[in-house]
Amino acid sequence: MKPIKGIISCAVLSFAVLLTGCEKTDIHKIEPVSKELYQKTIPETYEVYRGDMTPTIRLKLTQNSLRYYNYQVDLDDLEFDELKVANGDFVKAGQVLCVFKSEKIEKKVVDARETLETDKMLLEHVQKLKAIYFDPEKTDPDIKEHASNIALGKTYDDQIASIEDDIKLKEIELMESQRDLDKCIVKAREDGVITYVSDTIANGVVIKGKDILTEASGDVGFYTEVKNTDYVFEEGAVYKAQSPTMEFDVEITRIEENNTGTHTLYLKPVSDDVGYVSTEKFEVVIPLETIKDVVYVEERYVYTAVNEKRFVYVVDENGFKNPVYVEVDSVVDGMAIIKSGLNGGEEVAAK
Protein backbone atom coordinates (compact mmCIF):
# COMPACT_ATOMS: atom_id res chain seq x y z
CA MET A 1 0.00 0.00 0.00
CA LYS A 2 2.91 2.46 0.66
CA PRO A 3 3.99 2.70 -2.97
CA ILE A 4 0.40 3.52 -3.96
CA LYS A 5 0.21 6.33 -1.41
CA GLY A 6 3.44 7.73 -2.73
CA ILE A 7 2.08 7.83 -6.26
CA ILE A 8 -1.05 9.63 -5.12
CA SER A 9 0.98 12.18 -3.18
CA CYS A 10 3.19 12.90 -6.17
CA ALA A 11 0.18 13.29 -8.43
CA VAL A 12 -1.52 15.70 -6.04
CA LEU A 13 1.72 17.65 -5.52
CA SER A 14 2.31 17.94 -9.24
CA PHE A 15 -1.22 19.18 -9.79
CA ALA A 16 -0.85 21.73 -6.97
CA VAL A 17 2.40 23.01 -8.46
CA LEU A 18 0.74 23.31 -11.83
CA LEU A 19 -2.01 25.46 -10.40
CA THR A 20 0.36 27.59 -8.37
CA GLY A 21 2.59 28.28 -11.35
CA CYS A 22 -0.29 29.43 -13.57
CA GLU A 23 -1.22 33.03 -14.08
CA LYS A 24 -4.57 34.28 -12.81
CA THR A 25 -6.20 33.94 -16.20
CA ASP A 26 -4.76 30.54 -17.10
CA ILE A 27 -7.23 28.01 -18.51
CA HIS A 28 -6.31 25.45 -15.86
CA LYS A 29 -7.16 27.89 -13.10
CA ILE A 30 -10.56 28.51 -14.69
CA GLU A 31 -11.38 24.93 -15.60
CA PRO A 32 -9.17 22.56 -13.53
CA VAL A 33 -9.07 19.02 -14.90
CA SER A 34 -8.96 16.30 -12.26
CA LYS A 35 -7.29 13.15 -13.58
CA GLU A 36 -8.47 10.04 -11.74
CA LEU A 37 -5.74 7.42 -11.60
CA TYR A 38 -7.86 4.33 -11.09
CA GLN A 39 -11.18 5.20 -12.72
CA LYS A 40 -12.21 7.79 -15.26
CA THR A 41 -15.34 8.59 -17.27
CA ILE A 42 -14.52 8.64 -20.96
CA PRO A 43 -16.13 11.77 -22.40
CA GLU A 44 -18.05 11.86 -25.62
CA THR A 45 -15.80 13.39 -28.24
CA TYR A 46 -16.28 15.39 -31.42
CA GLU A 47 -13.82 15.60 -34.28
CA VAL A 48 -11.98 18.72 -35.38
CA TYR A 49 -12.19 18.86 -39.18
CA ARG A 50 -9.76 20.15 -41.78
CA GLY A 51 -10.62 20.72 -45.42
CA ASP A 52 -12.78 22.78 -47.71
CA MET A 53 -15.95 24.25 -46.22
CA THR A 54 -19.01 25.55 -48.05
CA PRO A 55 -20.98 27.85 -45.75
CA THR A 56 -24.69 28.35 -46.28
CA ILE A 57 -27.46 30.75 -45.39
CA ARG A 58 -30.59 29.02 -44.09
CA LEU A 59 -33.90 30.86 -44.26
CA LYS A 60 -36.70 29.43 -42.15
CA LEU A 61 -39.90 30.14 -44.05
CA THR A 62 -43.24 30.96 -42.44
CA GLN A 63 -46.35 30.35 -44.49
CA ASN A 64 -48.87 33.12 -45.01
CA SER A 65 -52.17 32.67 -43.18
CA LEU A 66 -54.26 29.91 -44.70
CA ARG A 67 -57.84 28.90 -44.07
CA TYR A 68 -58.40 25.27 -43.15
CA TYR A 69 -61.72 23.51 -43.67
CA ASN A 70 -62.38 20.26 -41.83
CA TYR A 71 -65.04 18.08 -43.42
CA GLN A 72 -66.85 15.48 -41.33
CA VAL A 73 -69.95 13.29 -41.21
CA ASP A 74 -72.69 14.62 -38.92
CA LEU A 75 -75.60 12.38 -39.97
CA ASP A 76 -76.68 8.91 -38.94
CA ASP A 77 -77.31 6.02 -41.31
CA LEU A 78 -74.70 7.03 -43.89
CA GLU A 79 -72.79 4.49 -45.92
CA PHE A 80 -69.54 5.08 -47.79
CA ASP A 81 -69.88 5.30 -51.56
CA GLU A 82 -66.79 6.90 -53.16
CA LEU A 83 -63.70 8.94 -52.24
CA LYS A 84 -62.73 11.20 -55.14
CA VAL A 85 -59.55 12.89 -53.81
CA ALA A 86 -56.25 12.01 -52.21
CA ASN A 87 -53.91 13.87 -49.88
CA GLY A 88 -52.14 16.66 -51.83
CA ASP A 89 -54.78 16.97 -54.57
CA PHE A 90 -55.66 20.46 -55.79
CA VAL A 91 -59.42 21.11 -55.84
CA LYS A 92 -61.78 23.78 -57.14
CA ALA A 93 -64.68 25.32 -55.23
CA GLY A 94 -67.72 23.06 -55.56
CA GLN A 95 -65.71 20.03 -56.64
CA VAL A 96 -67.00 16.72 -55.23
CA LEU A 97 -64.58 15.30 -52.67
CA CYS A 98 -66.45 12.35 -51.23
CA VAL A 99 -69.83 10.68 -51.73
CA PHE A 100 -71.99 8.86 -49.18
CA LYS A 101 -75.34 7.17 -49.52
CA SER A 102 -78.35 6.60 -47.26
CA GLU A 103 -81.41 4.62 -48.27
CA LYS A 104 -83.34 6.16 -45.37
CA ILE A 105 -82.67 9.75 -46.44
CA GLU A 106 -83.22 8.97 -50.12
CA LYS A 107 -86.61 7.40 -49.27
CA LYS A 108 -87.62 10.45 -47.23
CA VAL A 109 -86.82 12.70 -50.18
CA VAL A 110 -88.74 10.51 -52.61
CA ASP A 111 -91.76 10.21 -50.29
CA ALA A 112 -91.80 13.95 -49.61
CA ARG A 113 -91.68 14.75 -53.32
CA GLU A 114 -94.48 12.30 -54.15
CA THR A 115 -96.68 13.58 -51.34
CA LEU A 116 -95.98 17.16 -52.37
CA GLU A 117 -96.92 16.44 -55.97
CA THR A 118 -100.12 14.71 -54.82
CA ASP A 119 -101.07 17.64 -52.58
CA LYS A 120 -100.43 20.12 -55.37
CA MET A 121 -102.64 18.10 -57.72
CA LEU A 122 -105.35 17.90 -55.05
CA LEU A 123 -105.12 21.64 -54.47
CA GLU A 124 -105.53 22.30 -58.16
CA HIS A 125 -108.52 19.91 -58.27
CA VAL A 126 -110.34 21.59 -55.34
CA GLN A 127 -109.67 25.03 -56.81
CA LYS A 128 -111.25 23.90 -60.08
CA LEU A 129 -114.30 22.48 -58.25
CA LYS A 130 -114.75 25.78 -56.47
CA ALA A 131 -114.50 27.63 -59.75
CA ILE A 132 -117.22 25.39 -61.21
CA TYR A 133 -119.72 25.12 -58.35
CA PHE A 134 -119.22 28.28 -56.34
CA ASP A 135 -120.85 31.48 -57.63
CA PRO A 136 -118.92 34.51 -56.41
CA GLU A 137 -121.95 36.71 -57.28
CA LYS A 138 -124.14 34.97 -54.71
CA THR A 139 -122.43 35.88 -51.45
CA ASP A 140 -124.96 38.27 -49.87
CA PRO A 141 -125.77 36.86 -46.39
CA ASP A 142 -129.12 38.72 -46.31
CA ILE A 143 -130.40 36.80 -49.30
CA LYS A 144 -131.72 33.38 -48.30
CA GLU A 145 -130.97 31.77 -51.66
CA HIS A 146 -127.30 32.65 -51.27
CA ALA A 147 -126.81 30.72 -48.01
CA SER A 148 -126.04 27.35 -49.59
CA ASN A 149 -123.60 28.95 -52.03
CA ILE A 150 -121.82 30.72 -49.21
CA ALA A 151 -121.54 27.46 -47.24
CA LEU A 152 -120.18 25.65 -50.29
CA GLY A 153 -117.57 28.35 -50.80
CA LYS A 154 -116.48 28.08 -47.18
CA THR A 155 -116.10 24.30 -47.52
CA TYR A 156 -113.89 24.73 -50.53
CA ASP A 157 -111.86 27.48 -48.79
CA ASP A 158 -111.30 25.28 -45.73
CA GLN A 159 -110.17 22.41 -47.93
CA ILE A 160 -107.83 24.69 -49.89
CA ALA A 161 -106.34 26.17 -46.67
CA SER A 162 -105.79 22.68 -45.23
CA ILE A 163 -104.11 21.44 -48.39
CA GLU A 164 -101.92 24.57 -48.57
CA ASP A 165 -100.81 23.96 -44.97
CA ASP A 166 -99.94 20.38 -45.87
CA ILE A 167 -97.98 21.62 -48.88
CA LYS A 168 -95.98 24.05 -46.71
CA LEU A 169 -95.13 21.27 -44.24
CA LYS A 170 -94.13 18.91 -47.06
CA GLU A 171 -91.97 21.61 -48.63
CA ILE A 172 -90.16 22.06 -45.32
CA GLU A 173 -89.79 18.30 -44.94
CA LEU A 174 -88.50 18.01 -48.49
CA MET A 175 -86.07 20.89 -47.96
CA GLU A 176 -84.66 19.29 -44.79
CA SER A 177 -84.45 15.84 -46.38
CA GLN A 178 -82.82 17.30 -49.48
CA ARG A 179 -80.33 19.18 -47.27
CA ASP A 180 -79.42 15.91 -45.57
CA LEU A 181 -79.14 14.24 -48.95
CA ASP A 182 -76.86 17.04 -50.15
CA LYS A 183 -74.63 16.38 -47.16
CA CYS A 184 -74.04 12.93 -48.61
CA ILE A 185 -72.03 14.71 -51.31
CA VAL A 186 -69.05 16.53 -49.76
CA LYS A 187 -67.90 19.46 -51.91
CA ALA A 188 -64.90 21.79 -51.65
CA ARG A 189 -65.80 25.15 -50.13
CA GLU A 190 -63.02 27.06 -51.93
CA ASP A 191 -60.15 26.51 -54.31
CA GLY A 192 -57.45 24.78 -52.30
CA VAL A 193 -55.53 21.62 -51.61
CA ILE A 194 -56.40 18.52 -49.63
CA THR A 195 -53.97 18.32 -46.72
CA TYR A 196 -55.51 15.41 -44.82
CA VAL A 197 -57.46 12.25 -45.63
CA SER A 198 -58.40 10.08 -42.66
CA ASP A 199 -57.40 6.44 -42.72
CA THR A 200 -60.96 5.43 -41.81
CA ILE A 201 -62.57 7.11 -44.81
CA ALA A 202 -59.77 5.90 -47.08
CA ASN A 203 -60.76 2.40 -46.03
CA GLY A 204 -64.47 3.06 -46.55
CA VAL A 205 -65.38 3.31 -42.86
CA VAL A 206 -67.83 6.07 -41.82
CA ILE A 207 -67.61 7.42 -38.26
CA LYS A 208 -70.01 10.21 -37.30
CA GLY A 209 -68.41 13.36 -35.90
CA LYS A 210 -64.88 12.53 -37.05
CA ASP A 211 -62.91 14.62 -39.57
CA ILE A 212 -62.62 12.82 -42.88
CA LEU A 213 -60.86 15.50 -44.97
CA THR A 214 -59.03 18.79 -44.48
CA GLU A 215 -58.67 21.46 -47.16
CA ALA A 216 -56.25 24.40 -47.03
CA SER A 217 -57.12 27.59 -48.87
CA GLY A 218 -55.98 31.19 -48.94
CA ASP A 219 -53.03 33.38 -49.83
CA VAL A 220 -50.16 31.23 -51.06
CA GLY A 221 -46.69 32.34 -50.09
CA PHE A 222 -44.06 32.69 -47.38
CA TYR A 223 -42.12 35.29 -45.45
CA THR A 224 -38.92 35.25 -43.44
CA GLU A 225 -36.82 37.74 -41.47
CA VAL A 226 -33.10 38.09 -42.22
CA LYS A 227 -30.33 39.94 -40.42
CA ASN A 228 -27.92 42.23 -42.16
CA THR A 229 -25.24 40.14 -43.87
CA ASP A 230 -22.80 40.55 -46.71
CA TYR A 231 -25.17 38.52 -48.86
CA VAL A 232 -27.46 40.72 -50.97
CA PHE A 233 -31.11 39.70 -51.47
CA GLU A 234 -32.95 41.11 -54.47
CA GLU A 235 -36.55 41.11 -55.62
CA GLY A 236 -37.09 38.59 -58.40
CA ALA A 237 -34.35 36.27 -57.15
CA VAL A 238 -35.38 32.60 -57.25
CA TYR A 239 -34.45 30.00 -54.65
CA LYS A 240 -35.35 26.40 -53.82
CA ALA A 241 -37.82 25.91 -50.96
CA GLN A 242 -37.70 22.47 -49.42
CA SER A 243 -39.23 20.36 -46.69
CA PRO A 244 -38.72 16.70 -45.80
CA THR A 245 -41.18 15.70 -48.55
CA MET A 246 -41.51 18.64 -50.97
CA GLU A 247 -39.29 20.91 -53.06
CA PHE A 248 -40.16 23.78 -55.39
CA ASP A 249 -38.87 27.16 -56.59
CA VAL A 250 -39.87 30.36 -54.81
CA GLU A 251 -39.31 33.97 -55.88
CA ILE A 252 -38.74 37.04 -53.72
CA THR A 253 -41.65 39.38 -54.49
CA ARG A 254 -41.03 42.08 -51.89
CA ILE A 255 -38.38 43.17 -49.38
CA GLU A 256 -39.24 45.35 -46.39
CA GLU A 257 -36.80 47.01 -43.99
CA ASN A 258 -37.71 46.74 -40.32
CA ASN A 259 -37.07 49.22 -37.50
CA THR A 260 -34.72 46.70 -35.89
CA GLY A 261 -32.40 46.82 -38.90
CA THR A 262 -33.50 43.43 -40.17
CA HIS A 263 -35.34 42.79 -43.44
CA THR A 264 -38.48 40.77 -44.15
CA LEU A 265 -38.49 38.84 -47.40
CA TYR A 266 -41.80 37.86 -49.02
CA LEU A 267 -41.71 34.87 -51.36
CA LYS A 268 -44.20 32.95 -53.48
CA PRO A 269 -44.00 29.72 -55.51
CA VAL A 270 -42.83 30.27 -59.09
CA SER A 271 -45.02 27.55 -60.59
CA ASP A 272 -48.80 27.85 -60.62
CA ASP A 273 -48.89 24.11 -59.96
CA VAL A 274 -47.74 24.84 -56.43
CA GLY A 275 -50.98 26.49 -55.39
CA TYR A 276 -50.96 25.42 -51.79
CA VAL A 277 -48.52 23.64 -49.55
CA SER A 278 -48.77 21.44 -46.49
CA THR A 279 -48.19 22.39 -42.87
CA GLU A 280 -44.61 21.12 -43.06
CA LYS A 281 -41.68 23.37 -42.19
CA PHE A 282 -39.95 24.83 -45.25
CA GLU A 283 -36.55 26.45 -45.60
CA VAL A 284 -34.32 27.93 -48.26
CA VAL A 285 -30.65 26.89 -48.21
CA ILE A 286 -28.27 29.25 -50.06
CA PRO A 287 -24.72 27.93 -50.58
CA LEU A 288 -21.97 30.55 -50.35
CA GLU A 289 -18.43 30.59 -51.73
CA THR A 290 -16.32 27.61 -50.63
CA ILE A 291 -13.58 28.33 -48.08
CA LYS A 292 -10.45 26.35 -48.92
CA ASP A 293 -8.34 24.27 -46.50
CA VAL A 294 -9.55 25.43 -43.09
CA VAL A 295 -9.68 23.84 -39.63
CA TYR A 296 -13.12 23.99 -38.07
CA VAL A 297 -15.10 22.61 -35.16
CA GLU A 298 -18.60 23.14 -33.83
CA GLU A 299 -18.77 26.51 -32.11
CA ARG A 300 -20.50 25.09 -29.02
CA TYR A 301 -17.26 23.31 -28.04
CA VAL A 302 -15.26 26.57 -28.01
CA TYR A 303 -15.29 28.33 -24.64
CA THR A 304 -14.12 31.73 -23.43
CA ALA A 305 -11.71 32.14 -20.49
CA VAL A 306 -11.80 35.09 -18.07
CA ASN A 307 -8.98 36.67 -20.03
CA GLU A 308 -11.32 36.64 -23.06
CA LYS A 309 -9.17 34.06 -24.81
CA ARG A 310 -10.90 31.12 -26.49
CA PHE A 311 -10.14 27.51 -25.69
CA VAL A 312 -11.34 23.95 -26.29
CA TYR A 313 -11.02 20.71 -24.36
CA VAL A 314 -8.82 18.36 -26.38
CA VAL A 315 -9.16 14.72 -25.34
CA ASP A 316 -5.86 12.84 -25.23
CA GLU A 317 -5.18 9.17 -25.97
CA ASN A 318 -5.97 8.27 -22.36
CA GLY A 319 -9.36 9.92 -22.47
CA PHE A 320 -8.42 12.96 -20.38
CA LYS A 321 -9.64 16.47 -21.28
CA ASN A 322 -6.93 19.09 -21.67
CA PRO A 323 -7.80 22.77 -22.21
CA VAL A 324 -6.02 24.27 -25.22
CA TYR A 325 -6.06 27.88 -26.34
CA VAL A 326 -7.34 28.51 -29.87
CA GLU A 327 -7.71 31.55 -32.07
CA VAL A 328 -11.09 31.75 -33.84
CA ASP A 329 -11.07 33.42 -37.22
CA SER A 330 -14.85 33.46 -37.76
CA VAL A 331 -18.04 31.48 -37.16
CA VAL A 332 -19.95 30.11 -40.15
CA ASP A 333 -23.06 27.92 -39.97
CA GLY A 334 -22.39 27.12 -36.33
CA MET A 335 -18.80 26.11 -37.10
CA ALA A 336 -15.85 27.97 -35.59
CA ILE A 337 -13.05 28.36 -38.13
CA ILE A 338 -9.81 27.93 -36.16
CA LYS A 339 -6.90 30.19 -37.12
CA SER A 340 -4.41 28.63 -34.69
CA GLY A 341 -4.28 26.11 -31.84
CA LEU A 342 -5.66 23.06 -33.69
CA ASN A 343 -4.51 21.22 -36.79
CA GLY A 344 -7.52 19.08 -37.56
CA GLY A 345 -8.09 15.48 -36.56
CA GLU A 346 -8.13 16.18 -32.82
CA GLU A 347 -11.00 15.06 -30.63
CA VAL A 348 -12.67 17.69 -28.43
CA ALA A 349 -15.25 17.37 -25.67
CA ALA A 350 -17.80 19.49 -23.86
CA LYS A 351 -17.28 20.74 -20.33
- Taken in order 127, 129, 131, 135, is the CA torsion positive or negative? negative
Q: How confident is the model at residue 17 (pLDDT cuts 50, 70, 90)?
A: very low
Q: How confident is the model at residue 275 (pLDDT cuts 50, 70, 90)?
A: low
Question: pLDDT tens across 104-162, in order?
Answer: 989 999 999 999 999 999 999 999 999 999 999 988 988 888 899 999 999 999 999 99
Using DSSP, state whether 263 is helix, strand or coil. strand
Question: pLDDT tens across 24-60, in order?
Answer: 345 545 554 445 444 456 678 899 999 999 888 889 9
Using alpha carbons, select from 263, 266, 264, 280 the residue that is nearest to residue 219: 266
Residue ranges covered by each domain of the chain: 17-55+290-349, 103-183
pLDDT greater than 70 at residue 264:
yes
Please state, in angstroms and as integers, the Cα–Cα distance from residue 129 to each residue in 120, 122, 135, 149, 166, following that order: 14, 11, 11, 13, 19
For 17-55+290-349, CATH number out of 2.40.420.20, 3.40.50.12280, 3.40.50.1220, 2.60.40.10 equals 2.40.420.20
Question: pLDDT tens across 199-247, in order?
Answer: 999 999 999 889 999 998 887 789 999 987 778 999 999 999 998 888 9
Q: How confident is the model at residue 319 (pLDDT cuts 50, 70, 90)?
A: confident
Whole-structure pTM value: 0.48
Give DSSP secondary structure letters for 170-237: HHHHHHHHHHHHHHTEEE-SSSEEEEEE-HHHHTT---TTSEEEEEEEE---EEEEE---SSPP-TT-
Q: Which residues contact 187 (CB under 8 A, 6 or more apart)?
A: 94, 95, 96, 97
Average pLDDT on 289-307 reads 92
pLDDT greater than 70 at residue 325:
yes
Question: pLDDT tens across 233-243, in order?
Answer: 999 999 999 98
From 39-43, 246-250, 271-275, the region with the lowest mean pLDDT = 39-43
Using alpha carbons, select from 276, 262, 268 the residue that is nearest to residue 239: 268
pLDDT the model gives residue 67: 85
Cβ-contact 84, 197 below 8 angstroms: no
Cβ-contact 243, 62 below 8 angstroms: no
Q: How confident is the model at residue 278 (pLDDT cuts 50, 70, 90)?
A: low
Q: How confident is the model at residue 14 (pLDDT cuts 50, 70, 90)?
A: very low
